[in-house]
Structure 1
Amino acid sequence: MGASGWGYVVAYQPDLGAALDALRQKVFAEGDYWWARGELGHSASDYDNRPATMRELFADEWVQESGTHSILDMYRVLGDGEKPDHGTVEPVTKAEALQYTGTELPTREHVVAMGDLVRDRWFGRCVVLHDAAGQPQEIYFWGFSGD
């Protein structure tokens, strides 16, 4: 099947890890992911027999191997100085934002310019998006996962 790209915008909160956790819960509850026991082209929401918990979902060897092609494949946001690893989300630094967008306070209009910051499969990025006055408004999570 190959990896799938995904992206999500959520309301801003200062704790990026908590934002990731809430987003993962929402995506899981809505069934907005690919389930390895389902058919290609269908989301998990199409199946009444899909796993009832994330623990149950990720206990399945097929899911462990193929992933969900969604934010569910990401487990945590990295802290300062931590190296990216399988299933992690790395926040965009001010230097990266400046290099890719021309500002340290990117807005939603800058999302496309930062797309190349995801270098590997099974890895994600996130960036705080600002309004015209420079106030944090949203968080954008994006990446590639699944096989």
Structure 2
Amino acid sequence: MGASGWDYLVPFHGSAAETLARLRADVLAAGDYYWPDSRDRPKPLTEDELWADEAVRESMTHSILDIFEVGTGDPAERKAFGRTFEVTDAECERMLGTTRPTADDLARLEPDPLEALDPLLTNRGVGRHLIIHADGEPDQIFFFGCSGD
């Protein structure tokens, strides 16, 4: 199948970790992920059921469900797998011209923000996130990455 790029722009909920947890729950509930042989069997209702499937463990979900936690440090390190890393101030300044991007700044990356931010991705199964501000405060988070076999 190959790897798949994915991105989500969601409301900020107190922290990147809390926002990630809510997004993962929403994606699982919506069934918005790769599920092998989906015509032959229903999608799981829980993450335990999802990750119990050997095909999913091998090919991943091609979604934010492949990202389990917020990481710190270098997203290029081997231990980065399954984590999302905040875009650094230096990366943000280079890509968007600011360290506190707004929705308008993100919109300038259209028609494909994922393509524009692709140079920030290091490996499959590693995500990145960009906190979007409104009136100087965190308002949304843009999660993006690439995962799958």
Unaligned runs of 5+ in 2: 107-112
Instruction: Please report the RMSD computed on the Cα atoms of aligned residues, expressed in angstroms.
Output: 1.9
1:66 aligned to which of 43, 47, 59: 59
Amino acid at match of 2:65: L
Partner residue, 1:87: 82
Question: How far did residue 108 of structure 1 move?
Answer: 2.9
Question: 1:18 deviation in Å?
Answer: 1.0
Counterpart of 1:127? 130
Please list, as runs of the form range in 1=range in 2, the aligned pairs for 1:1-147 lying within 5 A after superposition: 1-38=1-38, 49-79=42-72, 81=73, 84=77, 85-111=80-106, 112=113, 113-131=116-134, 133-147=135-149
TM-score by length of 2: 0.83
| Kept in 2: contact 1:12–1:139 (CA 8 A) | yes
What are the ranges of 5 or more consecutive residues in structure 1 without an aligned counterpart? 40-46
Tell me the matched-pair count.
Answer: 138
Q: Is the 8 A contact 2:28 2:45 kept in 1?
A: no
- TM-score normalised according to structure 1 size: 0.84
Is the contact made by 1:108 and 1:130 (CA closer than 8 Å) also made in structure 2? yes
Deviation at 1:120, TM superposition (A): 1.5
Q: Give the direction of change, closer, same or farther, for the CA distance of 1:5–1:24 in structure 2 (3 Å limit).
A: same
Say whether the 8 Å CA contact 2:127–2:143 is kept in structure 1: yes
**Percent of pairs with identical residues:** 42
Which residue identity does 1:24 align to in structure 2? Answer: R
Looking at structure 1, the residues matched to 104 and 119 of structure 2 have their Cα atoms a distance apart, in angstroms, of 15
